[in-house]
Structure 1
Amino acid sequence: MDDFVRNKLTEWDLQKWMDKFEDEEITEESFYELNDELIDKLIPKVGPGLKFKKRFKQLKEKQSANEETVNLSAKEQEDAPELDRVLPSTSGKGKRKFDLPDESSKLQPPAKRQRSSQPLEAIVLSDVKNIMKFVHARLHEKDKLSAFLKKKISDLETDKRELVGVFGKTGAGKSSLINAIIEEKNLLPSGSVSACTSVMIKVEANMQGSNYEADIEFITPEEWKDELWSSHQFLGDNEDCEMDVDNDYHDISEKFSALYGEEWKGKSSEDLMDGKYFREIPEFLQGRRKILSCESAKELSARCVKYTRSDSKQGNDKDVKKWYWPLVKCVTVRVPNNDFLQHVTLVDLPGNGDRNKSRDKMWKQIVENCSTVWIVTEINRVIAEKEAWEILESASSYIGNGGECRQILFICTKSDHIEDSDDHSAAQRRDLIVKRNMQVKDEVRKEFSRLHKIKKHFTVDHFKVFTVSSKEFLKKKRLNADETEIPKLQQFLQDLNDCHSETFNYVSGAYGILSLIQGANCRGVASKKHVCGELERTMSQQLTQVAKAMAEAYRTFERCLSKGVESSICSYGQKLKTFLYYRKKGSAFHWTLKRVVQSGGIYKQKKGKQININMMLASYLMDSIDEDFRKTFPNEVKCSAFNGVIETFSLNTDFLNKYHKDVELQLRFLKTEEEKIKAKLNKIIRTQKKDVYNSVTQKIKEIMEESYIKAAAFRGPGTLNNMRETIERHVHSNKNMFERAKNTMLEKLNALMQYILETLQKTMMESIELSLKTDNCSLPDFSTELSMVKENYDKLKNSAVVR
């Protein structure tokens, strides 16, 4: 299974079936040949199978549309009266006729065209992609080199998408902020005091049409039935308990009343699964997504509100009879013709995950994949309001060492609000706002510098503060930049959208592939054997340096984790006791502890910090490695893992090229392959390091699972003490959990290091052998295409110098 297949299964939320695709060796090429029978064998379960088939059909339709563009010039040539189809040649041999071995050769590379209204990158990328599709179609897998080249062309494709996670308490202005930044005033509902966004909302570009769309993904009926059952159990256990407004009873009541009104009271979970309650959303019971499509943002917002918002009796919402947000896993809103979202997805996120397991799993996946995080809060209470800072603290390990966040933007909303401003002139009011905003920025930066937990994962350089007024910006009152920094945030999104590096990587790779083809057609190159020997010696030396740097990092982690194990054994008892014997004011603590053990040691309170026994037990181990982990696996794109040793890996092809001009084309290909594999490995490392980092807490959770199950089973008098004693005894008798967690992390780290070395060696050795040790291959002449791609490559290179 290659990266294309892996990425598609991840994108479609079907990671569970990756092993099956891996076992069957499904590659991008064979992926497109799948039929219903083969899909059923790969994904035997009906629900996921139907989901795959739907997405697969959409993908093939999109591919067909792209191929129509590639075939356009060929079709025009077919319809022309001339029998001989001719391409211009830059090889010095004048014009040449196409060989026509089969139907694929009827494809013609696209003519050069002027599209001055589009960015240079878009024009170049479109042209070069069409050229490479033409080249791919003319190559045949009759020999090893041809098959290798076709795979390399397929591997050029990348889909850059940056995730921006937007956090903030209810009423902070997240929806208004997103609307303002993407300049869609009516997209996300906002402004209601009593209503709030209750589910994750992704906002991205509609690349397939001109309508505003909402893709609503539900939790499964089985999950909802389990939630109904567990909630009934909880309510039964607490019939005579005096309830606090902040406890679970209010949360359950709010959720059930939204969907069932008052009918849920006194009914069993089986009764509440009756189909009559879901007539308006048959997709829920069928395990399908619900798609809404509208011509305007305002219309879509009105139709979406019942799936995304908690109950509100204000405005148009008062007519809504049922609210379906308890059943919704995620809503993806797609906006047409929006430059800010071309390669960016904005995600409106709840602060600390979700009590529903599937929603919480999705929350973690999204948060871990965010390249940027925005923390949104009102400017007037930015320091006194603790919730924003608690959100940042609770998410720090998920977005830092356990994620790939490169920047945190702290955004203070409603910056146009200032007390007693009516007594001042417009100029005085503006001066007051500017002064206040500057003071707020200084206070926020000072507060950040005091948060030691966050600073383990991020430095001050990763932290920026903005003061914005969505209301004023949407009114198009062009305020001073210090009053509303919405334009700065828009520029931030434009920078994320900048596809120059992705375009350059594609064009550079295409240039290298065409260079290899042209080089392979040159017979009798005398220095191939000598250059091949030099490259292999250099590669061996470079791999030794990579292995040495990684071994040093391994020893560092081993040393740090050993200290963490000692600290954990010495101090875990006090931490555990402090939590287990905590007295919650105004409510019985045993109900809180009951929810903790029922949820695998993790409890997401309606308000306040998340309770996580597993993280608490792992804290000394994590503290021991956090600083070194951040240095070894930096999230910054410009920094490479293992102290930059992968980035410095080089076969020194530029030096060899000075003395061996007869293999210049092959060396050019090897240089582009070298850059591609380093970029690929850096992406893999950024993904896999999350698994390495989180393995400590995950191992402790696995070891603690037995005690949680036992503790959750207690009922009646003495339940609290029984739960406490069960957890304490289990931890005391499993003190080796810290050593086992340490070994798990080291094993995963070692596996990652071995994979890096093997992939680097295998990829470059294969490229060396096929470019310099392969003879007598019959490849088409692509000298014209090479010339066209080189011209585009030079354009991009020159534009990069200008930047």
Structure 2
Amino acid sequence: MDDFVRNKLLEWGLSDLEERLEANKVTEESLFCITNEDLTELIPEVGLRSIFRRRLDQLKKEQNKRQETPDFSGQVSPSTSSKGKRKSEPQGESSKLQPPTKRQCDSEETRILSEVKGIMKKVEDCIRNKEQLGDFIKDKIKDLETEKRHLVGVFGKTGAGKSSLINAIINNEGLLPSGSVSACTSVMIKVEATNGSKYEAHIEFITKEAWKSEVDSLKQAFEDNDNDYDDGGNDVVFDPDGKLSALYGDEWKEKNTGSLIDNNKYFPDIPEFRKSKIKILESDSAEGLSEEFVKYTRSESNESEEVKRWYWPLVKCVTVKVPDNDFLDHVTLVDLPGNGDTNSSRDRMWTEFVASCSTVWIVTEMNRAASETEAWEILEDASSLLGNGGECQQIHFICTKSDNENPDDLNKVKNAVMNEFKKRKLIKDHFSEDSFKVFTVSSKEFLKGENVNPDLNEIPKLKEILKNLNDTHSKTLNYVSGAYGILSLIQGARSGEVVEQKNDVCADLEGNLSIQLNQVKKAIEGIIKVFEERLSEGVEKSQTLCKQKLRSFLHPSKTSDRAFHRTLKFAVRNDGVQKPKKGKRKNLNVTLVSCLTESIDKEFRKTFPNNIKCGHFNGAIDAFSLSTDSLIEKYKDVELQLTFLQTEEKKMKTKLNETILTRKKLIYNSLTETIKDNMKECYKEAATFKGTGTLKNMRDTIERHVESKMDMFEEAKNVMLEQLNDLKETVLRELEKTMKESIEHSLKTEACSLPDVSDHLRVVKKLYDELHDGQVEKKKPTLETAEA
């Protein structure tokens, strides 16, 4: 199964079908050929099959709409006359006198993208099952379709106005429930666009096994709560997240785990939970959908008193799909709880989402923006996950409820927030001042539909930021550029007689490749050496300060032993992590590894910037070049093939930088993961203590274990260096493999029966020029010298 099918299943909320489709070798091409008979055999479940069929039919309609272009005469020629002139020009000379608006540009680029996709589809159809080069070209055409969604994480305490802000952003007041201070969004909610006409909510549940484990853990915590003391009765109800009470009322206290899990009376409306399926809700209106999914997302709600049972404890994530929202086409808003979750599967998803956010919104009320402790704690707690351990480029601190404020007051608030940011060292270790911006908004005023002054109420600016994240221009330009290169390859491959020039240019290219690979290797090895020095310093500091840091965690000031006992008990049951319902979460592993991370934070941010345009490995990847520009001047007869190599080099570096961005997150987090792995044994032991002296026994166990494991810091250093070296080898291998393969196919492979795409090439070249506003280089392939 290819990435296209996998991504569609994820988009449709049908990821559990992945293994079935992969076993049946369903690809992008065969997906569109699936018949009703095939579906019956592939998906026996009627409900699931109906959902899949509806999604597939919708996808087919969209594809047909995109491909509705005039019929082409000849083998694969586009809408041209016999002289190659296009039947309709996209833009007359007179229209170029006036600079187009952004909306006009987006519309024009959409047209260009659609036209070029139609051309490439026809080209792909013509080269199917033809010679060795055919498969290579078809793979390259499929690669053009890769698209990335941008995640925008939205954090904020209850009542700060997150839901109202998201509703204002999508121009729909009734989608996410808001307005009740007591109501708390308890699960992750993704908001994205859909091509359909209905509002949808895709509800993904945790597994039944995971819920059983969590019920066991919560009931055990309740039973152990006061049994560990001999100075009081059972006066504290220990259900820290309110999960058991939300689902079972008070019944959970009297029943065992088995009856709570197996008794179907608790899950009558959600057979999908029992079957590990995704539940899909639909409505013609946002308000209608909101009423349907509120019990899957909220811990309580004054507006829905008729709800008797809240299912949010069983929910892993809810994806809300909104029709007619073009600026969410490639952007997903994620409403995130501030400190993760006690459920391990939900917490893993929370961590993955946070680390994948390209932008983060911290939402807090206007009147306490600078001094709001919880907002800053959320940002500090997540800073390493967002920064060196993630891919966040921008933090937007959004001050809500700015109704009727004057400009001077708004500026004072912005300045106060900015000054507070400058004081937060933990955040500044990962983010520069340039990446931190403050906005003031009034969702209430915006949703009234009145004229909004964007300098006072900055919701229009936030919407513009989301539109820019879609980056229609870059997406279109990348596709058209890649298509231009592929068509150049096809047309160039048809001219097989210039063997001497091909041999000469191959020798030059292979020589350049060897030199460039060596330069990249030296640059990366130099960087790794710097990391080794910094990490060695961090190991020494960790071993020196370890006892001091451990004591500060195990003996916190201003916290009673009784209160800390519950905190530590929870932490050792959760691999050293305590996640309170409110406030900053505590992570013993992070405390222990802090000297190591501090030793490399600055160097890591410079080496692996979250803004790919800055270049990873201090620009070593971007500096890689086969010098095709100078070779085009020297070898005119293979200009088309060199043009293809130019586009492949650019595409390869972009893809490689994205790979590095993903891998660097694992590399940075490996320090904490290594410490956690070394601590698991003692966490397990400490979690077994009960009765009098439990707190002392837990503390003593952890202290003894850490004292005997001082070499774990050296191990963490070595693991990170090993992963850095693995990344170096991956980079060099991909650079060499991709460019050697491209050289081989463009200059050494015979392809005499490939179709003539000269007309296509001429059209795409013209569109490519239009995207550059006429400022592209004049050195373009000469069709007359290359046509067979």
TM-score, structure 2 as length reference: 0.89
Determine the structure 2 residue equivalent to 1:548.
522
* Paired residue secondary structure (1:587): helix
Q: Kindly state the Cα deviation for residue 392 of structure 1 after the two structures are TM-superposed.
A: 0.4
Q: For 1:319, what is the secondary structure of its paired residue?
A: coil
Contact 1:165/1:370, CA 8 A, preserved across alignment: yes
Please say if residues 110 and 127 of structure 1, whose CA atoms lie closer than 8 Å, have aligned partners that are also in contact.
Answer: no
1:568 equivalent to 2:542? Answer: yes
Displacement after TM superposition at 1:383 (Å): 2.3
SS in structure 1 of the partner of residue 193 of structure 2? strand
Give the conservation status (yes or no) of the 8 Å contact 1:200–1:349.
yes
2:269 is the counterpart of 1:280: yes
Change (3 A) 1:202 1:650: same
d(CA) in 1 for partners of 2:742, 2:235: 62
**Counterpart residue number, 1:335:** 322
SS in 2 for 1:330: strand
Relative to structure 1, is the Cα distance of residues 501 and 94 closer, same or farther in structure 2, using a 3 angstrom cutoff?
Answer: closer
Q: Please, which runs of 5 or more residues in structure 2 have no aligned partner?
A: 92-102, 777-788
Once residues 202 and 330 of structure 2 are traced to their aligned partners in structure 1, the CA distance between those partners, rounded to angstroms, is: 18
Q: Which residue of 1 aligns with 2:467?
A: 494
Aligned residue pair count: 760
Aligned to 1:748: 723
Judge conservation of contact 1:372–1:406 (CA < 8 Å) in 2: yes
Question: CA–CA distance in 2 between the matches of 1:351 and 1:328?
Answer: 17
2:291 to 302, 305, 327: 302
Deviations 1:611-646 (A, max 9, x none): 111111111110011000000000113211011111
C-alpha deviation, 1:17, in angstroms:
12
What is the distance in 1 between the residues matched to 2:703 and 2:31? 51
| Cα deviation, residue 225, structure 1 | 1.3
- SS of corresponding position for 1:798: coil
Structure 1 position 255, deviation (Å)? 2.1
Helix, strand or coil for the counterpart of 1:412?
Answer: strand
- Unaligned segments of structure 1, at least 5 residues: 78-83, 97-108, 418-429
Poorly superposed stretches of 4+, deviation over 4 Å:
1-39, 49-63, 69-74, 84-96, 109-118, 239-248
RMSD between aligned residues:
3.6
Could you tell me which amino acid in structure 1 is paired with residue 383 of structure 2? Answer: S
Q: Which amino acid aligns with 1:150?
A: K
Distance 1:516 1:223, change over 3 A: same
Q: Given residue 281 of structure 2, which amino acid in structure 1 is its aligned partner?
A: L
The question of whether the paired residues in 2 share the 8 Å contact of 1:169 and 1:351 is answered with yes
Q: 1:590 aligns with which of 558, 565, 590?
A: 565
C-alpha contact 2:78 2:119 (8 A) present in aligned 1: no
Residue 217 of structure 1: CA displacement?
A: 1.1
Give 1:157's aligned residue.
145
**Letter of the 2:185 counterpart:** T
The offset of 1:552, in angstroms, is: 0.9
Q: Does residue 1:182 correspond to 2:178, yes or no? A: no
Aligned to 1:166: 154
Match of 1:249 in 2: 238
Shift of 1:726: 1.4
Whole-angstrom distance in 1 between the partners of 2:19 and 2:701: 37
For the 8 Å contact 1:408–1:462, the answer to whether it is kept is yes
Equivalent-residue separation in structure 2 for 1:793 and 1:15 (angstroms): 37
Q: Does 1:65 align with 2:61?
A: yes
Q: 2:433 aligns with which of 460, 474, 483?
A: 460
Secondary structure at 1:176 match in 2: helix
Q: CA deviation at 1:33?
A: 9.2
Whether the 8 Å CA contact 2:130–2:754 is kept in 1: the answer is no
Residue by residue over 1:495-549, the C-alpha shift from the partner in whole angstroms, topping out at 9 and shown as x without a partner, is 1122111110111000110111001111311411111111111111111111111
Measured after TM superposition, the shift of residue 388 of structure 1 is 0.3
Q: Secondary structure of the residue that 1:367 maps to in structure 2?
A: helix
Verify: 1:601 aligned to 2:576, yes or no.
yes
Closer, same or farther in 2 for the Cα pair 1:90/1:471, shift >3 Å? Answer: closer
Question: Cα–Cα, structure 1 residues 749 and 62, in superposed 2: closer, same or farther, change >3 Å?
Answer: farther
Given that 1:197 and 1:310 are in contact with CA atoms closer than 8 Å, whether structure 2 keeps it comes out as yes
2:734 corresponding residue in structure 1: 759
For residues 678 and 356 of structure 2, the distance between their equivalents in structure 1, rounded to whole angstroms, comes to 27
Instruction: Tell me the distance in 2 between the aligned counterparts of 1:616 and 1:360.
Output: 19
Name 1:616's counterpart in structure 2.
591
Conservation of the 8 A alpha-carbon contact between 1:121 and 1:796:
yes
Paired AA for residue 732 in structure 2: L
Is residue 442 from structure 1 mapped to residue 415 from structure 2 by the alignment? yes
Aligned equivalent of 1:264? 252
Change (3 A) 1:629 1:91: same
CA contact (8 A) 1:437 1:482 kept: no
Are 2:480 and 1:507 equivalent residues in the alignment?
yes
User: Of the candidates 115, 120, 136, which is equivalent to residue 132 of structure 1?
Assistant: 120
Quote the residue 1:478 is aligned against. 451
Deviation by residue 1:479-507 (Cα, 9 ceiling, x = unmatched): 43332111111111111122111110111
Change (3 A) 1:294 1:54: closer
Residue 219 in 1 paired to residue 206 in 2?
Answer: yes
Residues 160, 23 of structure 1: alpha-carbon distance in 2 compared, 3 angstrom cutoff: same
> Which residue in 1 is equivalent to 2:335?
348
2:719 matched to 1:723?
no
Shift of 1:95: 8.8
TM-score of the aligned structures, taking structure 1 as reference length: 0.87
> 8 Å contact 1:372–1:408 — kept in the other structure?
yes
Following superposition, the deviation at residue 390 of structure 1 comes to 0.2
Counterpart of 1:639, as a letter, is C
Q: Which amino acid aligns with 1:795?
A: E
Once the two structures are superposed, residues 540-568 of structure 1 have per-residue CA deviations (whole angstroms, 9 ceiling, x without a partner) of 11111111111111001111111111011
Corresponding residue of 1:320:
307
Residues 453-485 of structure 1 show CA distances to partners (whole Å, capped at 9, x for unaligned) of: 111100000000011111111113324333211
Q: Secondary structure at the match of 2:251?
A: coil
Shift, 1:196, TM fit:
1.7
Please give the alpha-carbon distance, in whole angstroms, between the structure 2 residues aligned to 1:537 and 1:37.
55
Offset of 1:759 from its aligned partner?
A: 0.4
Q: Which amino acid aligns with 1:538?
A: N
CA contact (8 A) 2:76 2:755 kept: no
